Homo-oligomer: A and B are copies of this chain.
């Protein structure tokens, strides 16, 4: 187990933790279905969670590298980072 692998695993662990929650899976699914960026509020509307909890989930996804966020006036817009999914899910076992 070399040092590079330890670092890579930290990233993988953070990604898998981010994915290991039903609310966050749903956020990803909604963004995938839309195929484009969406406002945080619009995504959160269907989520039966407090705004602080929803904000926490967006942060978790962003810090894991699974989304990016852009501010426009008072709103924030989120989109999926397809590059991250590509990198960590395509041929997962071989790339591990």
Q: What residues make up the interface of A, taking CB atoms closer than 8 Å to B?
A: 1, 6, 9-10, 12-13, 16-17, 19-22, 25-26, 28-29, 32, 46, 80, 82, 85, 89, 92-94, 96
Contact = CB atoms under 8 A, between A and B. Distances in A.
Contacts of A1: 26, 46
Given A6-B22, A9-B25, A17-B17, 17 more contacts: A1-B26, A9-B22, A9-B26, A10-B22, A12-B19, A13-B22, A13-B25, A16-B16, A16-B17, A16-B19, A20-B20, A25-B96, A28-B93, A28-B96, A32-B93, A32-B94, A89-B92
Q: How many of these chains are in the complex? A: 2
Contacts of A85: 92-93
